[in-house]
Amino acid sequence: MAQRTSLHGQWSSRLVFILAVTGSAVGLGNFWRFPYIAGENGGGAFVLVYLACVFAIALPIMIAEVLLGRRGRRNPITTMRVLGEEEAGQPGWRIVGILGICAGLLILSFYSVIAGWAFAYALKAASGAFVALDSRSVAALFHLHTRSWIVLGAWHTAFMVMTVAVVARGVERGLERAVQVIMPLLLVLILVLVGHAIHTGTFLRGAAFVLRPDFAALTPEGALIALGHAFFSLSLGMGVLMAYGAYLPQDTSIGGTTIIVALADTAIGLLAALAVFPIVFSHGINPAEGPGLAFETLPLAFSEMRAGVFTATVFFVLLTMAAWTAAIGLLEPAVAWLCETREMTRPRAAIGVGTVVWLVGFLTIFSFNLLQHLRFWRGTLYANLDYFAINILLPISGLAITLFAGWVMCDNSRVQELESPSGYRLWRFLTRFVAPVGVTLLLINAGAQLLRH
Ligand code: TRP
């Protein structure tokens, strides 16, 4: 087979690819979900299960997704169509690409609302808005921000513009430059926060909450939470890795590179936990997850802290930056698809997709104000969108990707992409047997929850 080349250029180095994929992986999930679920489900015991899920299930799928992307060298839809045709004579596999892209855009629509909110809080924090608040005034601030769809909408707009601006500039001038600046900054900021947490006096308590293994608190349900989070945190199943894989030079090792990303993402989740919990505990506040942790619990803690203005600003800047590189990855696949198949220029495609996502984002915005009383199944419209995209669409598409890479693709094509023979066998075993079982369990669990309601 003559090798295809990407129409958008290539990553200029392996490091940039690692930064870009890590940038897509590290996001809101690392900061407000991982620390909390780890603490709630047995601390160190959970972390061990999480690592097992990452290496036995998520990493093989990640490798599969990058591999498919590099082999197809196109946007996820075209890649799945071409590979489906080549490997099995079935272009219908393109459905997997379509599903991934749509789900990714859906995720981006609410992701951007929350990220815009973090952006707003970064400026609020810097201006000293969190000084000397009590829990009532923090809640009031939260309310003030979410009550107005115009305020939430304005910040959502700002964040979408930031994201579209990067993707519009293309792989080398947009994506690469952004991750090269943001990712090192992110690392510095998080180390600053951890450094600060070490001085709170409750560092050990915070660390123990996330790290001390409590096997009694670890339930089968906790294990499924770990698996689901591994999926979300590593950005699997939405075509992001496939799109990024399409720009990966042929001689770069996929296995070695993805392992680094998986480790980096987990390390940042742990660092986030070490930064957040000591701050929470030093003020005697109960830990929480989700928007509540970032926008209520932490501001309260910051307001009581000596270097509160500084720490709060660093935290929210960090959150915004992390969400930004994740959002860039969520937008890229659809933009690549429009450029390749509709012959649009990048700026037009980015603005077009960005506008659609921006509009859909208002469903999430209204869930906090105009439509806050509209409740069904999991809660507000936002809660439902979030649950549907993350717990149902993500595993479905992940399952399809593993089955394709593990069972449909022929050995020859896979070996061409993955060099090391022993690593290859292990990967094939995990992709064929372990990953599909794990993902199926996730789906069964989500289905059971659906029925229970
Ligand atoms: N991984 C990101 C986080 O932890 C979220 C994210 C970015 C994502 N791109 C994705 C999730 C693609 C699923 C699919 O916050």
Mean pLDDT over 180-194 rounds to: 94
| 209 CA to centre of ligand 1 in angstroms | 25
Q: What is the DSSP letter of 284?
A: T
* Residue nearest atom 7 of ligand 1, based on CA coordinates: 326
Q: Is 228 in the pocket of ligand 1 (CB under 6 A)?
A: no
pLDDT at 2 over 60: no
Mean pLDDT over 68-75 rounds to: 96
Residue with tokens 């990714």: 104
| 232 CA to centre of ligand 1 in angstroms | 5
> Distance between CA 94 and CA 82 in Å, rounded?
8
pLDDT at 438 over 80: yes
Give me the pLDDT at residue 17, please.
96
Report whether 284 contacts 205 (CB < 8 A): no
Report whether 404 contacts 97 (CB < 8 A): no
Q: What is the DSSP letter of 319?
A: H
> Distance between CA 279 and CA 285 in Å, rounded?
9
Mean pLDDT over 182-197 rounds to: 93
Terminus-to-terminus CA distance in the chain, angstroms?
51
> 169-183, 297-311, 438-452: which range is least confident on average?
297-311
| 333 CA to centre of ligand 1 in angstroms | 13
* Residue nearest atom 10 of ligand 1, based on CA coordinates: 235
Give me the pLDDT at residue 283, please.
79
Ligand 1 pocket test target in 179, 190, 233, 397 with most atoms within 8 Å of CB: 233
Q: Is 238 in the pocket of ligand 1 (CB under 6 A)?
A: yes
Report whether 258 contacts 63 (CB < 8 A): yes
* Residue nearest atom 6 of ligand 1, based on CA coordinates: 235
Mean pLDDT over 126-150 rounds to: 87
Cα 347 from chain centroid? 24
Atom of ligand 1 nearest to the CA of 322: 15
Ligand 1 pocket test target in 99, 238, 386, 390 with most atoms within 8 Å of CB: 238
Mean pLDDT over 30-37 rounds to: 90
Give me the pLDDT at residue 307, please.
84
Higher pLDDT, 2 or 40: 40
Higher pLDDT, 313 or 301: 313
The tens digit of pLDDT for each residue in 217-254 reads: 999 999 999 999 999 999 999 999 999 999 999 999 99
The tens digit of pLDDT for each residue in 77-88 reads: 999 999 999 999
> Distance between CA 47 and CA 28 in Å, rounded?
18
Give me the pLDDT at residue 1, please.
52
Tokens at residue 202, please? 């409750």
Q: Which amino acid is at 449?
A: Q
Q: Is 233 in the pocket of ligand 1 (CB under 6 A)?
A: yes
Q: Is 240 in the pocket of ligand 1 (CB under 6 A)?
A: yes
pLDDT at 420 over 80: no
Q: Is 393 in the pocket of ligand 1 (CB under 6 A)?
A: no
Mean pLDDT over 283-304 rounds to: 81
| 158 CA to centre of ligand 1 in angstroms | 20
pLDDT at 328 over 90: yes
> Distance between CA 247 and CA 171 in Å, rounded?
8
Q: Which fold has domain 14-452?
A: Amino acid/polyamine transporter I (1.20.1740)
| 235 CA to centre of ligand 1 in angstroms | 4
> Distance between CA 192 and CA 280 in Å, rounded?
16
> Distance between CA 46 and CA 200 in Å, rounded?
25
Q: Is 255 in the pocket of ligand 1 (CB under 6 A)?
A: no
| 182 CA to centre of ligand 1 in angstroms | 17
Q: What is the pLDDT confidence band of residue 395, given thresholds at 50, 70 and 90?
A: very high
Atom of ligand 1 nearest to the CA of 238: 14
Q: What is the pLDDT confidence band of residue 305, given thresholds at 50, 70 and 90?
A: confident
Mean pLDDT over 379-397 rounds to: 92
| 24 CA to centre of ligand 1 in angstroms | 6
Give me the pLDDT at residue 136, please.
83
The tens digit of pLDDT for each residue in 343-368 reads: 999 999 999 999 999 999 999 999 99
Residue with tokens 């923090």: 138
Residue with tokens 């720490």: 311
Give me the pLDDT at residue 182, please.
96
Q: Provide the b/e sequence for 185-221 (b: ≥16 CB within 10 Å).
A: ebbebbebbbebbeebebbeebbbbbbeeeeeebeee
Q: What is the rounded (10 degree) CA torsion for 312, 306, 36, 256?
A: 60
Q: How many helices (H) and strands (E) does the chain have?
A: 24, 0
Q: Provide the b/e sequence for 133-165 (b: ≥16 CB within 10 Å).
A: beeebbeebbeebbeebebbbebbeebbebbbb
- Average of per-residue pLDDT values in the chain: 93
Atom of ligand 1 nearest to the CA of 231: 13
Residue 132: left if φ>0, alpha if ψ -120 to 50, beta else—which one?
A: left
| 327 CA to centre of ligand 1 in angstroms | 8
pLDDT at 290 over 80: no
